[in-house]
Each structure stands twice: as structure tokens, then as C-alpha cells.
Amino acid sequence: MDGIDTATAKLAAEMQLADVNAILEGMEQEDTDEHVAFKAMQLSFQDVIQVYESRLAVMNVLGLEHAPRVQFQRLVEQERQARDDHDLARRLSGLPSQQHHSTSPEIIDLTKDGIDSDEEKNAPDSTLGSAEPSSFPYDDLPRPPRGGIVIRTPRARSPVPCVASSSKGKGKRKADSIDLEDRNNDRPTHGPCSACMERFPRFDLLELTCKREGDLAHHAYCRDCLLDLFKSSLTDTTLFPPRCCGMTISISDTARFFPPELISQYEEKEVELRTPNATYCSKRACVIFIKPQYVEADVATCPVCSTQTCATCKNPSHKGLCPEDPTVQQLMQVAKEKKWQRCYNCRTLVELVHGCYHMR
């Protein structure tokens, strides 16, 4: 059973053992060669299943020991990323960078001497197999002790020199800004995108006010996912306007992520979908939306190709009354009942006052 995982191999062996047990229960004679062969097969499968169970138990123990190490490395990586982002923010704001060799988090080992047995202390790292990392990727930070309890103490704040000023108010505002910056350091500098699940700096995320029940953080979207969503909504009206948890994502909130061309297209699409009985250019090579300000007397003039379109039947503009106009249809029905006729030159209805119905 090479090439499959241990749990699947154990399940396959158990199914084969069940088949062998069913065959043995159906045999009436126990002194035949066939019965002896199936009995030996039964014992063989039982031994194989026991080996798989032992292997699964060992893998479970190794996984429990390896999980804290993986979590520690993830925390170290997040700490380093946050530190680099903080340094970049300080440099952009004109403040000096902190000296990290004196402010890096301290690692305190609370493992008491003599708790670990001699066998565990002298055990080679190769016993962990693939669960033990080949090298610790962050040599500048202390490595966690094996089997010990690791506690991260809060980062010590390095003193930031306050610029002297002749005005007391300016000095107070400077101190307040430094204190506000220190408080903002406690907030994570990165967050996940709710669409692609990648992590991005918070200044490159649009954080919304909605979230699912049980989630700790509100939904947020990165620049690329927002761009794809809004572009798709321009061609698929079922996605317009873009929403999250049933709440509309405002174009004003996303304007800092989009180019001006996309914002203009979105605003035009918004006018188009909000216009009742919208009119489009009847020229097949154009077929653009004609805004209401270009419609006059039920005739829409395309601002691009100047083609005139009937705003009632959506066909090319025609003379006289539109036959698809509901009011015109009612008028024609009355004219039919009253036996009115149309002028042959201007097609205007003529009401019979006196005389016959003959017209020249």
C-alpha cells in the first residue's frame, strides 16, 4: 500500500479483514486447507492494522510537538513584518528609526531545571523526522527552548526625542502625536482580504462594517479584488451595485483605489440602470446608452453618432405618432370604432362632422 497515507491504508486493511471474517464465518469445516489459509490471512491483517495504529499514534505525538514550533515561527515572521512597517512609517514621517537590537522582544524560558528527563535532553533531533525544521530562519531572535514554555514580554519603547519649541502648545501637540503613534503600534499593520485571503497592509485594504456571525474582524478587500468586482459589475448587471453581505459598497469609499476612468464609467452605469425605460442608440454599430438630457419629444439623439432613435419603440426615428405608444394605440382603437380616417398627405386623423366617409 505504498503511495497512500497511513489512515487510508489502515481503512483498506480493515475492510479486507472484514471480508476475511465474513468468509470464515460462512465456512462449516475448520480442518480444510482453505480455512487454514483464510485464518492465516486474518492474523496477517490484524498485525498490519496494529502497525498502522501505532504509526498514527506516533504521527499524532509528533504533530502536537511540532505545532508550537510552527506557530512560534509564524509569530516571529509577523513581528518582523510589523517592525519593518513601523520603521518605514517612522522614516516617512521624519522620525528616527528605532534600534531593534535593544527593543526586540525578549524570550523568557519558564522551564525549570531538572524537569526534562535525561532521555529527552539527549534525544537527537532526527527522531522528529520531517517535523523538525532543518534550520531556524530567524537567527537574530532567540530560539525557543525545546519542550519549554515561551512567553513574549511587551516590546520596550525606545525614547523618542521631543523637538523643543518656543510655544508650549506646539510642544504639547508633539507629545500627543507621539503618544498616539505608540498606541497605534498595538494595532496589526496587515490584514487578510476576504476575497483572495492574502494578507495586505491595512492602507491597501478597504475595511467594511459588515462581518459574518462568529468572525472577529470585519470584512476587507484588497485593491485588485475591488477592481475586479467593480469591473465585473459594469458588464454583469446582477452584480451592480457591488455588495458585501447585502450592503452596497460605495464608490466614494473606493475612489482612492480606482483610476478616474473607472469612476466615470461606474457613474454612467449608475445613471443608466436608474433610468426607467432606458433608450439605446438604434445604430447597431453604436448601441450606447442615451442619457435623458438627449431625449426630446420622444426622440433620442445619440451624442456619439448623432443617430436619432424613437424613445418609445426603440427603433430608428420615424415621422408621426409611434404605433407602439400605449396612448396612440388607445386613440387608434377609438378612431376605428368611430370610423375616422387619416389624411393621405400628413397622416393626421380626420374626425367626421358631416358628410360621407369618402376622402380624396
Whichever domain contains 256, its CATH number is 3.30.40.10
Three-state DSSP class for 84? Answer: helix
pTM comes to: 0.40
Please report how many Cα atoms fall inside a 13 Å half-sphere around the Cα of residue 205, on the Cβ side. 23
- The answer to whether residues 358 and 229 belong to one domain is no
User: pLDDT at position 228, please?
Assistant: 94
* Domain-embedded: residue 127: yes
For residue 109, what is its C-alpha cell?
A: 524560558
- The answer to whether residues 237 and 124 belong to one domain is no
* Domain-embedded: residue 94: no
Is residue 11 a contact partner of residue 19, using CB atoms and an 8 Å limit?
no
- The answer to whether residues 149 and 234 belong to one domain is no
* Domain end call among 274, 290, 306: 274
- The answer to whether residues 16 and 66 belong to one domain is yes
- The answer to whether residues 238 and 312 belong to one domain is no
* Domain-embedded: residue 51: yes
User: pLDDT at position 347, please?
Assistant: 64
* Domain-embedded: residue 232: yes
Burial environment of residue 124 by CB neighbours within 10 A (0 to 12, 13 to 18, 19 or more): exposed
Distance CA 227, CA 221 (A): 10
Q: How many domains does the chain have?
A: 4
- The answer to whether residues 67 and 125 belong to one domain is yes
First to last CA, the chain: 101
* Domain-embedded: residue 160: no
User: pLDDT at position 140, please?
Assistant: 47
Distance CA 15, CA 18 (A): 5
Q: pLDDT tens across 186-240, in order?
A: 567 888 999 999 999 998 999 999 988 888 888 999 999 999 999 999 999 899 9
Q: Which amino acid is at 241?
A: P
User: pLDDT at position 131, please?
Assistant: 42
* Domain-embedded: residue 91: no
User: pLDDT at position 57, please?
Assistant: 84
- The answer to whether residues 112 and 241 belong to one domain is no
- The answer to whether residues 223 and 127 belong to one domain is no
What are residue 198's phi and psi, to 5 degrees?
-85, 155
- The answer to whether residues 143 and 236 belong to one domain is no
Please report how many Cα atoms fall inside a 13 Å half-sphere around the Cα of residue 167, on the Cβ side. 5
Residue 269's beta-bridge partner residues? none
- The answer to whether residues 265 and 303 belong to one domain is no
* Domain-embedded: residue 21: yes
DSSP string over 165-179: -S-HHHHHHHHHHHH
* Domain-embedded: residue 96: no
Q: Per this entry, what is the length of the chain?
A: 360
User: Which domain, by its residues, includes 348?
Assistant: 325-360
- The answer to whether residues 51 and 72 belong to one domain is yes
- The answer to whether residues 246 and 145 belong to one domain is no
Q: Which residues in the chain show pLDDT less than 70?
A: 1-3, 97-187, 328, 344, 346-347, 349, 351-360
The C-alpha angle 51, 56, 58, rounded to 5 degrees, equals 95
